[in-house]
């Protein structure tokens, strides 16, 4: 149950002309799912390039601990085992702006994992130009669109790159999906 001060103002309401109405606490308000921003440093070309524009959806990011089950006589005991980060899918609008060719940039980022033109894996390591892994930051924004906290995906790289279906029957923007694998996720507190 919530703290008494907040709980009382949420449940014990009296409506009459003598008061200004119910006093509601806003301290228990939740983060909104649509108030976020992402920063993806691709390391392609200009290594300081950060993709933020046009990312319209991110699937749940997290990790799962595998179970270690120990059988002893008639009992089962459970212990936490290895932690496995879960893949995250980023969905981008395929922007028509030539000066911000998102499809080309995302494909170039995928090419740091596998270069389909030359048939090589992780060409940036072979060329000595750096690494194919990067850091991705997912910011939670408050009601004034200011960052309040963020989750960082460390050791992130594109696992798949997909152009969405082309279809004359739909009335939606075309999208590009990039599935990202990462080594660690860290949730940082309020900025």
Give per-residue pLDDT as tens, 112-160.
Answer: 888 778 777 765 555 555 567 889 999 988 888 888 899 999 999 999 9
pTM: 0.75
Query: Tens digits of per-residue pLDDT, 67-97?
Result: 999 999 999 999 999 999 999 999 988 887 7
Question: Residue 97: its pLDDT value, please?
Answer: 75
The percentage of residues in the chain with a pLDDT greater than 70, rounded to a whole number, is 73
Query: Tens digits of per-residue pLDDT, 150-167?
Result: 999 999 999 999 999 999
Question: Residue 27: its pLDDT value, please?
Answer: 60
In 17-35, which positions are buried (b, 16+ CB within 10 angstroms) versus exposed (e)?
Answer: eeeeeeeeeeeeeeeeeeb
Pick the closest to residue 57 from 37, 87, 41, 31 (CA basis). Answer: 37
Question: Residue 161: its pLDDT value, please?
Answer: 92
Query: Tens digits of per-residue pLDDT, 176-191?
Result: 999 999 999 999 986 6
Question: Residue 137: its pLDDT value, please?
Answer: 93
Return the beta strands (E) in the chain as ranges. 36-41, 50-51, 55-58, 63-72, 75-85, 88-93, 114-115, 120-121, 134-141, 147-163, 175-181, 184-188
Name which residue leads in pLDDT, 25 or 170.
170
For the chain, state the CA radius of gyration.
23
Evaluate if residue 111 carries a pLDDT over 50.
yes
Please, how many CA atoms are within 13 Å of residue 36, restricted to the half-sphere of its CB? 19
Evaluate if residue 1 carries a pLDDT over 50.
no
Question: Residue 124: its pLDDT value, please?
Answer: 52
Rounded to the nearest integer, the mean pLDDT of the chain is 80
Question: Residue 50: its pLDDT value, please?
Answer: 76
Domains of the chain: 1-28 (no CATH), 31-188 (2.30.110.20)
């Amino acid at each position: 149950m919530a703290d008494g001060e907040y709980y009382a103002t949420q449940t014990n309401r009296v409506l009459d002309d003598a008061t200004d109405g119910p006093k509601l606490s806003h301290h228990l308000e939740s983060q909104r799912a649509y108030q976020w921003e992402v920063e993806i440093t691709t390391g392609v070309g200009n290594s300081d390039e950060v993709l933020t524009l046009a990312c319209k959806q991110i699937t749940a990011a997290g990790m799962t601990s595998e179970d270690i089950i120990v059988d002893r006589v008639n009992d089962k005991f459970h212990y936490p085992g290895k932690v496995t980060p879960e893949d995250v899918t980023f969905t981008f609008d395929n922007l028509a702006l030539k000066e911000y060719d998102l499809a080309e940039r995302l494909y170039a980022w995928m090419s740091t994992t596998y270069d389909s033109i030359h048939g090589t894996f992780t060409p940036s390591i072979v060329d000595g130009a750096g690494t194919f892994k990067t850091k991705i930051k997912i910011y939670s924004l408050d009601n004034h669109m200011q960052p309040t906290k963020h989750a960082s995906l460390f050791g992130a790289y594109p696992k798949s790159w997909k152009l969405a279906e082309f279809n004359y029957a739909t009335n939606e923007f075309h999208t590009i999906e990039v599935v990202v694998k990462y080594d660690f996720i860290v949730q940082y507190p309020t900025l």
